[in-house]
Structure 1
Amino acid sequence: MDVLLDIWQRITTPHAALAPLTAWLTVAAAGAIVLFTPAWRLARHVITIVHEGGHGVIAVLSGRRLGGIRLHSDTSGLTVSRGRPSGPGMILTLLAGYPAAALLGLGAAWLLSLGYDVGLLWALLALLALLLVQIRNWFGLWSVAVTGAVVFGVSWFGSPLVQGVFALLVTAFLLFGALRTSLELQRPRSRRAGSSSDADQLARLTHVPGIFWVAVFLGVQLLCLALSARLLTFDQI
């Protein structure tokens, strides 16, 4: 009981805002991770986890049966759901993947704007725990477990400064990383090599060109980035 009360107190106690310089350096570090290809190759697994989780959540909410999620070492993933192969449920499920990281980043920015950086970390832990039970391959289990261990370590053992910096780093990385994945999606599509991508599957289901769906992904991601920037102003960071 004491442990649960301690956790609840950590989650519900807002922290002091980061100094503006520290906040900007953290955001710049997140941008560097996304732009520096060797770092991106490793960190992109986090975006894949959120991407496939987005497919899974919307599949369940739209009435489809979630069959499981696989995460692969090449940063690709697969979410299997059962139901009608067409219709609104399938379309929404396909739509959910690429915007998922940006939408999660927006929610994270909202929590940070209120000072709940530790609350954000524990919310991420809860989401990872829910995702873990749907993973159906060993690499996926390892990937989610390691991510959860890092988040837990910072949330439990980190100082308030470390927790605040890490929470902002994750938030900015989700927002920037989401944009890069959509830009990467369009490159193989422009060379006619992306026929199995979410955008191309949506194109086949809706008879609307795949480039339109890529634009939708980018539009949602840019909107989330803009709203997050308004939430995380210098007065609040």
Structure 2
Amino acid sequence: MDLRTLGHQIVERLLPDAVPAGAWWVPAALLLALAVVVLPPAWRLARLAVTIVHELGHAIVGILLGRRFTGFVVSANMSGHAVTVGPRRGFGRVASTWAGYPAPALVGAVLVQIALHGWAPAALFAALVVLVLSLVFTRSLHTLGAVLGTAAGAGALWWWGSPVLTAVLTLAGGGFLLLGAWRHLGAVIRGGGRADDPAQLAALSPLPGWVWTLSFAVALAACTWWAGSALAPHA
């Protein structure tokens, strides 16, 4: 395969696909997402994606606000930690710390919109690029393997997946990230999750941790409403 042919195929895979015909694929994708979140064996493996998006949310917002992203770690227990360097206090530190929990819900809602409008291939390519670039910032072998595995899955679906399979799995991925964001937040509310973000935000501001947890819930609810309003005509 010459470079011209390869380039042509890449461009073709970035163009929007026709949305699959019929209404079956939307509930099928959402049921798949729900099953992955509810069934413990599936959740134990798949929640890694929620953690990766959570940590990249910290990083991207930090970079946008002038902080320097130095790396992130995803632990074997699926918790994570991202490090940005900059002023120890101030708006940039607060915003980058806050961004973690809403990030999976926002990405999930965007994926729902994208899948319903035929842009799933372009979204998968964008995700692949972000994941490959983030490899530079992994700080453990487990994190490297987790990001590589996620990138390999996104890349394989982008290159070899049929339009129907790509649309179904992109919509399922969006639904999974939305539901997974709520499950992670529920763990924090019950006191059994990674409550370090609300605690850090309480230390960085005059507001108590529960106010920050409530702000996460409001952000997740807004993302859920946005995704739900797009899904409603297909119900």
TM range (shorter): over 0.9
Judging changes above 3 Å, is the alpha-carbon distance between structure 1 residues 18 and 32 closer, same or farther for their aligned structure 2 residues? farther
Q: Distance in 1 between matches of 2:19 and 2:88?
A: 49
Query: Alpha-carbon deviation of 1:18?
Result: 5.0
SS at match of 2:150: helix
2:29 pairs with 1:30 = no
Which residue does 2:58 correspond to in 1?
A: 55
Report how many aligned residue pairs link the two structures: 232
Q: Distance in 1 between matches of 2:65 and 2:128?
A: 24
Residue identity (%): 32
Which residue does 1:168 correspond to in 2?
A: 171
After TM superposition, the score normalised by the length of structure 2 is 0.93
SS at match of 2:81: strand
Q: Which runs of 5+ in 2 are unaligned?
A: none
Which residue does 2:197 correspond to in 1?
A: 198
Query: Which 4+ residue blocks in structure 1 deviate beyond 3 angstroms?
Result: none
Q: How does 1:109-124 map to 2 (within 5 A)?
A: 109-124=112-127
Which residue does 2:153 correspond to in 1?
A: 150
Contact 2:89 2:204 (8 Å CA) reproduced: yes
Which residue does 1:231 correspond to in 2?
A: 230
Contact 1:200 1:210 (8 Å CA) reproduced: yes
Q: Distance in 1 between matches of 2:64 and 2:181?
A: 22
Q: Distance in 1 between matches of 2:50 and 2:180?
A: 7
2:217 pairs with 1:218 = yes
SS at match of 1:25: helix
Contact 2:17 2:163 (8 Å CA) reproduced: no
1:52-72 CA-partner distances (Å, limit 9, x unpaired): 000011111111111111111
SS at match of 1:232: helix
Equivalent of 1:95 in 94, 98, 108? 98
Contact 1:18 1:164 (8 Å CA) reproduced: no
SS at match of 1:16: coil
Which residue does 1:104 correspond to in 2?
A: 107
Which residue does 1:9 correspond to in 2?
A: 12
Contact 1:179 1:222 (8 Å CA) reproduced: no
Q: Distance in 2 between matches of 1:222 and 1:103?
A: 10
Q: Which runs of 5+ in 1 are unaligned?
A: none
Q: Distance in 1 between matches of 2:21 and 2:204?
A: 46
Contact 2:109 2:175 (8 Å CA) reproduced: no
1:14-55 CA-partner distances (Å, limit 9, x unpaired): 222353222102101201211222211111100000000000
Contact 2:20 2:163 (8 Å CA) reproduced: no
Contact 1:59 1:90 (8 Å CA) reproduced: yes
Q: Distance in 1 between matches of 2:199 and 2:21?
A: 42
Contact 2:55 2:81 (8 Å CA) reproduced: yes
Q: Distance in 2 between matches of 1:81 and 1:222?
A: 27
